Chains A and B, each alone.
Chain A
Amino acid sequence: MSGHDSKYFSTTKKGEIPELKEELNSPYKDKRKDAVKKVIAAMTVGKDVSSLFTDVVNCMQTENLELKKLVYLYLINYAKSQPDLAILAVNTFVKDSQDPNPLIRALAVRTMGCIRVDKITEYLCDPLQRCLKDDDPYVRKTAAICVAKLYDINAELVEDRGFLESLKDLISDNNPMVVANAVAALAEIQESSSRPIFEITSHTLSKLLTALNECTEWGQVFILDALSRYKAADAREAENIVERVTPRLQHANCAVVLSAVKMILQQMELITSTDVVRNLCKKMAPPLVTLLSAEPEIQYVALRNINLIVQRRPTILAHEIKVFFCKYNDPIYVKMEKLEIMIKLASDRNIDQVLLEFKEYATEVDVDFVRKAVRAIGRYESIIATLCESLDTLDEPEAKASMIWIIGEYAERIDNADELLESFLESFPEEPPQVQLQLLTATVKLFLKKPTEGPQQMIQVVLNNATVETDNPDLRDRAYIYWRLLSTDPEAAKDVVLAEKPVISDDSNQLDPSLLDELLANIATLSSVYHKPPEAFVTRVKTATQRTEDDDYPDGNEAGYSETPSHAAGASPPNSSSSAYGATRQSAPAPAAPAPAAPVPDLLGDLIGLDNNAIVPVDQPATPSGPSLPVVLPASTGQGLQISAQLTGQDGQIFYSLLFENNTQTTLDGFMIQFNKNSFGLAAAGPLQVPPLAPGASARTLLPMVVFQNMSAGPPSSLLQVAVKNNQQPVWYFNDKILLHVFFTEDGRMERTSFLETWRSLPDSNEVLKEFPGIVVSSAEATLDRLAATNMFFIAKRKHANQDVFYFSAKIPRGIPFLIELTTLIGNPGVKCAIKTPNPEMAPLFFEAIETLLNA
């Protein structure tokens, strides 16, 4: 019987593709359409139907839009694996892009942009140019997005062909859909470029605010989010902006409401009139509360945002605490967030109400939620007495143990502490171990605090119970220790048992102010949901995943990237703007003598052109090129494996640039990397991509990194401990150094006035000074350029005696600024560096960085 089944199965399998092939070439339109549908069906369930490529493409020339769309869908899927065949479609694409039907024109451009095959991309430019100026708005809005697609494939091409300008023109388009897409495309391009491309002037601002009223809901979000980068000049402008954005709060779409809230909050910072601010707070409250009537998923996002907002502006929702009371059918993730917010909004005025509510939660089914509620109650010492009333209802051991701990800890404030504990003693032998341990400790504390007759009797009972009558070694040992302590030296017992406890930072306490600032600037983004700065989780590397996944760009490197080799030999590593001077530590193959004062403008020009190339993890083996890196694991230590590595920064993203050289006699594969906890929480954003290394081969890779992932405690240190393993060798450990300037962010530039203000506002104790007697600054200009390239921004210069004094600003993630003063006599040894920062513990790291930078 199985023979029959399998026969049937294999015939279909064998027959399916030829059958489809036949149908695709049928003279009947309907039959062809059905066949393409079948092909798509097979494609979506993961079957390989790429062998039908030619036949499907043949169906493309049709006036039937439904069929055409299906063919396009197929093309997007398989063009990558059949780049040569994809060329067959080019003519039809170009023809379609001039079709009288606007839907077909748009479809052609939209689809071409999705096919990441160079030959298609080349032919895309002309149609795209036409479509950007098309009469039909549907075509224009599709073309606008297509520019972003093309930028992702080939940024240089977009700039050369002037598409950025066309895109900027579309901001003034009379169709709001087109405006919205142009804004979205420009915002994305700006995100991946270090140059100012999409700057919002007061002129664009007013244009976009006008478009806002006519846009679709989604377009409104694009525009509001783009505008949130705009810094109003003064309070008046801020008020004007707010006035035009406020009506958005009435929108039924939650995304519009939250983006509007973000914009208003940001402008509020500038508004000085307390009346206006109060009025705005009043206007924002109802829509924020209304978000809690949406689906639970949206509620969750709203609550995470509200959590941040109330930390900055508690008044907005101070009177609304009731809306955060949990509903019994709320998902647990919503309940947890509501609890957090209630804790933040609790005040003298509403504390009774809140505590009563918390008390109800203590009987809920979900253990985690109950724990959190009980812990929250514990925060308020004043109510311990009330709390104790509900003691008898606690049957979850952890909750019970916590309560008993509270009674012992605050025994002097609880009048009937002895009675409460005594009631537990009766059932001592039956209690779970964790409750027994707490009972023991609490009774000892009670006795030490109130050494009266009652407690003395209790302690006898407990010690007896916990020593003679138990076989739990933990309990017995603890009891014996207490017993000895109490009998030999009660004062010592006091010191030990009642020792002052370190203040435990509470998990739901207020956020660190600088982090809160950063998160508030990111309201209505994922960052505000995770409560993490964007750089801690955003891992989008312009090209990394795409390019590593498909190696099918045979000639892809021809066009834009031919300059690489010439730079590889040069002293200035072309891979990044901010780390251009990072490679000057002891390098493995000694670098060519650095040309002093590199021609910076040229370098910058090259850098832009090389952007793409630099980020491609070069996992094609055996052709390592690019800047030389310091050796971190010499071949002598690594049994023939040599690793050179360095942290670099680029466009706000941090990479670990690595070079692996295999000098062993075997092929090494399965490379993996791990970073120990470190002061910046640096960790790999993805797996290490190193191909198997044949003997004598080497490979270079750029590993995208994230920050604030695994932070180590203690004072900041530049130590970066790395472990690398492969399948053939033991695990290698090496130390690298974190140079602070890798983290300098692009928004570190300060206006002169704000520099002065900040400098003055910081206490003198925050100023740290260091001298570098050996360093010579030979050219002020070259040095300034070099520092600027690492996002250390020049602010002013003055003469002091015969010396030059330079002022700079820089900023590292979480918004920590550095104000820098460099004093030197040009051409003579000796540089004095003074910095002021809210985080002076970072100073040693900063000096290491500046020394490296100045020595370059």
Chain B
Amino acid sequence: MISQLFVLSQRGDNIVFRDYRGEVQKGSAEVFFRKVKFWKDDEDGDAPPAFNVDGVNYFHVKVSGLLFVATTRVNVSPSLVLELLQRIARVIKDYLGVLNEDSLRKNFVLVYELLDEVIDFGYVQTTSTEVLKSYVFNEPIVVDAARMANLGPAAIFMQGTKRMPGTAITKSVVANEPGGRTREEIFVDIIEKISVTFSATGYILTSEIDGTIQMKSYITGNPEIRLALNDDLNIGRGGRSIHGYGSSYGSGTVILDDCNFHESVQLDSFDIDRTLTLVPSDGEFSVMNYRMTQEFNPPFRINALLEEAGSFKAELILKVRADFPSSITANSILVQMPVPTYTTRVSFELEPGAAGNTTTDFKESSKRIEWGLKKIVGGSEHTLRAKLTFTQEPHGNITKEAGPVSMTFTIPMHNVSRLQVKYLQIAKKSNSYNPYRWVRYVTQANSYVARL
């Protein structure tokens, strides 16, 4: 069980501190922060999420730039503690709308009240916002959403098209709208993080999709909801060998390696028609997580060519091609590549018309070049040329001293797995009852790497 729980700012300030058992000394937050800060004396690696100092075990996770920490003296389940810390962050965000130092400080009484209901004597009681609502009485003081920082994957919908209600994700699930009436709406986000490793020749070495169907409901009265997924969805790669007809899967079939579900999800009809039934609780939660290694069409192809060009010089050509429909636009693209450590200067040459859309930079200290693009329209190709100047002759094969090329991006309204929410049905209270439903897709790069 947990002895203490505290939240620290990035500078190590104590924002929230709750002691549940009085068996760990008071200075633990300081001990913890010093240990984490000076882990290896430098940024050479982060402190692992669980470690022991003088008989006290410290667990921590980072959420929105805050450190959520728990201490214990006993041999607890570490995944329980770490998962709990994530959930506490989520519950607080559900309540406050925005999770940051400012909102925590403004609402500390509420936060303490929450922490007292979430944990008793070090034992988790509940982390469901829905359940907590009946025990927690403080009202959140909502801080200005305009000043908030990182919001996680769904944040993309903030900048997206106008149809997206921008305030959705920063809205507290308990606080009332200024108008006094909450809008009946529900958000279902299909978020896919993809990892691809290309070999030097462009061949796909590994590829993986980590997906989540995330839900956030502002519907009153908790009606039952049905989510229908692709009806030919298959689970378990083992299935292939059972049927023995590997080729019988058409291109339309989606095969998941594994998936798991939120505890509120009823799977009675899932095996039959791939529908999920649930009564969504308040707050944000993952209805389903899935993992897929089935081959898919990677949204970007990366082509890198690095060649020596005379003594102490080399030329680099980076090409990125967007392999998705032209109706879709990726944004926040950043391509990075380490160059040989003896590189002193890099001069870039942009393609015509790229000016407003592109940034380039050579990070002297980490010997990396960065190429940023605001937008890439599906089907288009972009090229960056760069001249590298060295202080010495390369040791041999220059490509072994540079790379790999890595890339981050976000593609709204596109998912590579082809998993779909076919429909979202809400049990009707009356004929006129028709809440807003938002089903949104987003693809993000996790580890998207091309080797040289």
Q: Is A251 an interface residue (CB 8 A)?
A: yes
Q: Which of A229-253 contact B (CB under 8 A)?
A: 250-253
Cβ distance B415 to chain A, nearest Cβ, rounded Å:
16
Residues of A within 8 A of B312 (CB): none
Q: Are B124 and A524 in contact (CB under 8 A)?
A: no
Q: Are B135 and A392 in contact (CB under 8 A)?
A: no
Q: Is B126 an interface residue (CB 8 A)?
A: yes
Residues of A within 8 A of B286 (CB): 252
Residues of A within 8 A of B261 (CB): 250-252
Q: Is B137 an interface residue (CB 8 A)?
A: yes
Q: Is B82 an interface residue (CB 8 A)?
A: yes
Q: Which of A294-353 contact B (CB under 8 A)?
A: 295-298, 300-302, 322-323, 325, 327-333
Residues of A within 8 A of B446 (CB): 327, 329
The interface centre, meaning the residue of B78, B112, B113, B451 with most chain A CB atoms within 10 A of its CB, is B78
Interface size on B, residues (CB 8 A): 84
| Complexed CA–CA distance, A301 and B78 (Å) | 7
Q: Which of A72-122 contact B (CB under 8 A)?
A: 73, 103, 110, 113-114, 116
Q: Is A184 an interface residue (CB 8 A)?
A: yes
Residues of A within 8 A of B289 (CB): 252, 290, 293
Contact among A290, A297, A368 with B44 in the assembled complex (CB-CB below 8 Å): A368
Residues of B within 8 A of A290 (CB): 257-260, 289, 291
User: Could you mark each residue 116-135 of chain B with 1 if its beta carbon is under 8 Å from any beta carbon of chain A, else 0?
Assistant: 10001101111110000001
Cβ distance A12 to chain B, nearest Cβ, rounded Å:
19
| Nearest A residue (CB) for B207 | A322
Residues of B within 8 A of A296 (CB): 49
Q: Is B273 an interface residue (CB 8 A)?
A: no
| Nearest B residue (CB) for A330 | B447
Q: Is the interface of A mostly helix, strand, loop or mixed?
A: helix
Of B156-164, B166-174, B401-409, the segment with at least 4 beta carbons within 8 Å of chain A is: B401-409
Q: Are A368 and B83 in contact (CB under 8 A)?
A: no
| Nearest B residue (CB) for A217 | B263
Q: Are B401 and A301 in contact (CB under 8 A)?
A: no
Residues of B within 8 A of A145 (CB): 120-121, 123
Of B22-30, B177-185, B297-305, the segment with at least 4 beta carbons within 8 Å of chain A is: B22-30
| Complexed CA–CA distance, A293 and B286 (Å) | 13
User: Could you mark each residue 547-590 of chain A with 1 if its beta carbon is under 8 Å from any beta carbon of chain B, else 0?
Assistant: 00100000000000000000000000000000000000000000
Known contacts A392-B396, A540-B23; is A218 also within 8 Å of B82 by CB? no
| Complexed CA–CA distance, A363 and B451 (Å) | 11
Residues of B within 8 A of A528 (CB): 78
Cβ distance B326 to chain A, nearest Cβ, rounded Å:
29
| Complexed CA–CA distance, A216 and B61 (Å) | 23
Known contacts A251-B260, A297-B82, A325-B206; is A530 also within 8 Å of B52 by CB? yes
Q: Is B100 an interface residue (CB 8 A)?
A: no
Q: Is B220 an interface residue (CB 8 A)?
A: no
Q: Is B262 an interface residue (CB 8 A)?
A: yes
Q: Are A69 and B396 in contact (CB under 8 A)?
A: no
Residues of B within 8 A of A300 (CB): 48-50
Known contacts A69-B137, A297-B82, A360-B404; is A255 also within 8 Å of B77 by CB? yes
Q: Are B61 and A333 in contact (CB under 8 A)?
A: no
Of B68-76, B374-382, B426-434, the segment with at least 4 beta carbons within 8 Å of chain A is: B68-76
Q: Is A439 an interface residue (CB 8 A)?
A: no
Known contacts A142-B120, A390-B400, A545-B23; is A221 also within 8 Å of B80 by CB? yes
| Complexed CA–CA distance, A252 and B45 (Å) | 29
Q: Which of B55-96 contact A (CB under 8 A)?
A: 55-57, 60-61, 73-80, 82-84, 86
Q: Are B50 and A282 in contact (CB under 8 A)?
A: no
Residues of A within 8 A of B451 (CB): 360
Q: Is B343 an interface residue (CB 8 A)?
A: no
User: Could you mark each residue 124-147 of chain A with 1 if its beta carbon is under 8 Å from any beta carbon of chain B, else 0?
Assistant: 000000000000001001100110
Residues of B within 8 A of A330 (CB): 447
| Complexed CA–CA distance, A787 and B258 (Å) | 53
Q: Which of B270-295 contact A (CB under 8 A)?
A: 286, 288-289, 291, 293
Residues of A within 8 A of B137 (CB): 65-66, 69
Q: Is A453 an interface residue (CB 8 A)?
A: no
Cβ distance B226 to chain A, nearest Cβ, rounded Å:
19
Interface size on A, residues (CB 8 A): 94
The interface centre, meaning the residue of A152, A216, A251 with most chain B CB atoms within 10 A of its CB, is A216
Q: Is A661 an interface residue (CB 8 A)?
A: no
Contact among B24, B260, B401 with A363 in the assembled complex (CB-CB below 8 Å): B401
Q: Which of A386-409 contact B (CB under 8 A)?
A: 390, 392-393, 395
Cβ distance B123 to chain A, nearest Cβ, rounded Å:
5
Q: Are A363 and B258 in contact (CB under 8 A)?
A: no
Residues of A within 8 A of B210 (CB): 293
Contact among A222, A254, A333, A360 with B79 in the assembled complex (CB-CB below 8 Å): A254
Cβ distance A787 to chain B, nearest Cβ, rounded Å:
29
| Complexed CA–CA distance, A330 and B449 (Å) | 13
Contact among A65, A149, A191, A251 with B121 in the assembled complex (CB-CB below 8 Å): A149
Q: Are A191 and B262 in contact (CB under 8 A)?
A: no
Residues of B within 8 A of A367 (CB): 44
User: Could you mark each residue 826-844 of chain A with 1 if its beta carbon is under 8 Å from any beta carbon of chain B, else 0?
Assistant: 0000000000000000000
Residues of A within 8 A of B109 (CB): 37, 40-41, 70
The interface centre, meaning the residue of B50, B80, B446 with most chain A CB atoms within 10 A of its CB, is B80
Contact among B16, B48, B57, B395 with A333 in the assembled complex (CB-CB below 8 Å): B48
Cβ distance A614 to chain B, nearest Cβ, rounded Å:
18
User: Could you mark each residue 289-325 of chain B with 1 if its beta carbon is under 8 Å from any beta carbon of chain A, else 0?
Assistant: 1010100000000000000000000000000000000
Q: Are B75 and A395 in contact (CB under 8 A)?
A: no
Q: Are B45 and A368 in contact (CB under 8 A)?
A: yes
| Nearest B residue (CB) for A191 | B74
Q: Is A188 an interface residue (CB 8 A)?
A: yes
Q: Are A332 and B45 in contact (CB under 8 A)?
A: yes
Q: Are A393 and B108 in contact (CB under 8 A)?
A: no
Q: Is A772 an interface residue (CB 8 A)?
A: no
Q: Are A289 and B83 in contact (CB under 8 A)?
A: no
Q: Are A218 and B121 in contact (CB under 8 A)?
A: no
| Complexed CA–CA distance, A103 and B117 (Å) | 11
Contact among A181, A332, A393 with B401 in the assembled complex (CB-CB below 8 Å): A393
Residues of A within 8 A of B50 (CB): 300-301, 526, 529-530
The interface centre, meaning the residue of B74, B86, B116, B260 with most chain A CB atoms within 10 A of its CB, is B260
Residues of B within 8 A of A534 (CB): 75
Q: Is B373 an interface residue (CB 8 A)?
A: no
Q: Are B291 and A289 in contact (CB under 8 A)?
A: yes
Residues of A within 8 A of B10 (CB): none
Q: Which of A696-746 contact B (CB under 8 A)?
A: 706
Q: Is A778 an interface residue (CB 8 A)?
A: no
| Nearest A residue (CB) for B448 | A328
Q: Which of A749-795 contact B (CB under 8 A)?
A: none
Q: Is A679 an interface residue (CB 8 A)?
A: no
Q: Is B338 an interface residue (CB 8 A)?
A: yes
Q: Are A328 and B447 in contact (CB under 8 A)?
A: yes
Known contacts A218-B124, A325-B206; is A188 also within 8 Å of B291 by CB? no
List, sorted by A's number, 25 A–B pairs whose CB atoms are closer than 8 Å.
Answer: A66-B137, A73-B116, A152-B21, A181-B123, A181-B125, A184-B123, A216-B126, A218-B84, A222-B123, A300-B48, A300-B49, A325-B197, A327-B446, A327-B447, A363-B403, A365-B366, A368-B44, A392-B396, A395-B341, A524-B77, A529-B78, A537-B55, A537-B57, A538-B75, A539-B55
* Additional 12 contacts, C-beta under 8 A, given A255-B80, A290-B291, A333-B45: A40-B112, A41-B108, A146-B121, A216-B126, A254-B82, A257-B260, A290-B259, A296-B49, A302-B79, A327-B449, A393-B395, A395-B395
Which of B's residues lie within 8 Å of A, judged by CB? 1, 16-17, 21-25, 44-50, 52, 54-57, 60-61, 73-80, 82-84, 86, 108-109, 112-113, 116, 120-121, 123-128, 135, 137-138, 195, 197, 206, 208, 210, 236, 238, 257-263, 286, 288-289, 291, 293, 338, 341, 366, 395-397, 400-401, 403-404, 406, 446-447, 449, 451
Kindly list the 10 A-B residue pairs having the minimum CB-CB distance in the complex, ordered from nearest: A327-B447, A539-B55, A286-B258, A297-B49, A540-B73, A255-B80, A332-B45, A392-B396, A293-B210, A218-B124
